[in-house]
Amino acid sequence: MIERRIDHVTRKRVAEMSPEEMRLALLVSAKTGLPNRRAFDESPASPFVAMSDVNGLKALNENFSYSAGDILIRRFAEVLTSVSLDAYHNHGDEFLCKGESFQELNLKLTQAQQLLREQPFAVCGLDSRITTIEGADFCFGIGIDLNEAEASLKRQKELLKELQK
């Protein structure tokens, strides 16, 4: 990554941005195109929120490459929006969603899980070979606030670890 203080091209582009372009740049994840955590915080509150995180991203990055992990993160973002979730990219492989009810979030996230599991995607391995990954999975937690959703997500991850033993 280029040091921002000496990246004159980017500094010039940012200086020429309109206030609306600047606001958009501050509220959208460059990696996924989804609204980011700041946009989540600034948007109207909802009765329920969900936190989700991709399973096995570390192994995918180690076995293939970080670009393979980025492909999966972008794919996950597409799946979340395809089931009409109000989704936000928090950071890394963590996403946030807002919903009007527990049932709505649970249904849509379950649909997203099924889609992500069933849809293969291609990645370029460390050996520069293209490999098809048969699908991916994620865990999610739902709550009335982020603390509750995060605690629920943690329980889901622990259950998954127990099942994998």
Tens of pLDDT, residues 31-49 = 999 999 999 999 999 999 9
Rounded (to 5) percent helix, strand, coil in the chain = 50, 20, 30
Residue 25 belongs to some domain of the structure = no
Q: Identify the CATH number of the domain in which residue 117 sits.
A: 3.30.70.270
Residue at 153 is within a domain:
yes
**How far apart are the C-alpha atoms of 25 and 123, rounded to whole Å?**
28
Look at residue 38 and tell me if it is in a domain: yes
pTM: 0.84
Structural domain contains residue 87: yes
SS3 61: helix
- Count of domains for the chain: 1
- Is 111 part of a structural domain of the chain? yes
Cα–Cα distance for residue pair 54/13, rounded to 1 Å = 33
**How confident is the prediction for the chain on average, in pLDDT?**
90
Convert the pLDDT of each residue in 107-154 to its tens digit: 999 999 999 999 998 888 778 888 899 999 999 999 999 999 999 999
Q: Does residue 77 lie within any of the structural domains?
A: yes
In a domain, 20, yes or no: no
Domain ranges, residue 36: 32-164
Higher pLDDT pick, 124 / 53: 53
> Is residue 16 assigned to a domain?
no
Are the C-beta atoms of 112 and 144 separated by less than 8 Å?
no
Amino acid at residue number 8: H
Taking the C-alpha atoms of residue 146 and residue 76, their distance in angstroms, rounded to an integer, is 20
